[in-house]
Amino acid sequence: MNLLRSLVFALFLLFVFLPFTGFVALTRWMSLRQRYDFVTGWNARYTLGAFRRLLGITHRVQGLENIPAEPVVFLAKHQSAWETLALAAFLPPSAYVAKRELLRIPFFGWGMAQMPIVTIDRSAGKDALRQVVEQGGALMNEGYSVVIFPEGTRTAVGGQRRYKIGGATLAVETGRKVVPIAHNAGEFWPRNAFVKRPGEITVSIGPAIETAGRSAETVNAEAAAWIEGEMHRLFPQHYRQSLGSKREAARVAH
C-alpha cells in the first residue's frame, strides 16, 4: 500500500508539481512578495494536500508563539524533502539558503530562482559565508526571515551531523534572533527513500535565542543543544535504537 501511495505521489510531482514550478519562472511581472504569496498559497493547498491525501502524512506544530514579529534566522533539523516544502506553510515569509547549482535544475530550479532565496557557491570556502550574510541580511531588511539547515544535508532519524556556523553568523552579524526547529519528518519520509509511510509529523519551534553581544559559536552551540535535546525528548525511541546499535558495535569490536 505504501509503495502504491508513493508511486501516485511521484506522478503528482512529475505532472503537477514540476509544471507548476516551471510556470513560476514566468511570473517575473509579479513583485517578489506577490510571487511568494502565490507560490506558498498554492503549496499549502496542493502540495501539503498531496502529502495528506496521497501519502497519509500530516503534521502538527507546537511553539508557534515562540516566533517573534520581526524577521529571524530559523535553524531547522534536516531529515527529508518534507521540511523544504512544508515549513513555508506555517512560518512567516521566509527565504531558504540553497546551493547555487540547484537553480539550474529544469522547472524546479527556474521557479526557485523567482523566490526570495539565498544562494551560495559551496566551493567558495569562506566567501560562501559572506554570501549568506550579505544576501540574507538584505532579504531580512525586506521583511523576510531566513531558513537554514545547519547540518548541511539530510540526516537519518536518530542521527546528528556537525552544526555549521553560517546561520548563527548571519544572525549575529545582522543583530537578529535565532529560532530553532526540531521535527521527525524522516520517520515517515526517510532520507533518500522512494517509499514514504503515513503518519503525523511533529514540529517543535523553540524559544528565540538572543544574539546581541554573543559570538556565533556560542549561539550555534545553544541552538544545536536545544534542537538535539528536543529531538531526544520528543522522539526517544529513535535514540534508544541508535544507542543500542552503538553499544552492540562496541561489544562486537571487543
- What element of type H or E holds 97? strand 94-99
Mean pLDDT, range 160-183, rounded to an integer: 96
User: What confidence tens digit (pLDDT) does each residue in 174-224 have?
Assistant: 999 999 999 999 999 998 899 999 999 999 999 999 999 999 999 999 999
Sign of CA dihedral 58, 193, 19, 37: positive
- Model's pTM, two decimal places? 0.91
For residue 252, give the C-alpha cell.
562486537
Query: Domain limits of the chain?
Result: 2-253
Residue 186's alpha-carbon distances to 80, 146, 152, 226, in angstroms, are 6, 22, 15, 19
The single residue listed with the C-alpha cell 531526544 is 232
CATH topology of domain 2-253: Glycerol-3-phosphate (1)-acyltransferase (3.40.1130)
Per this entry, what is the length of the chain?
Answer: 254
Specify the pLDDT at position 252. Answer: 30
Q: What confidence score (pLDDT) does residue 242 get?
A: 52
| Strands 73-76, 178-183: pairing kind | parallel
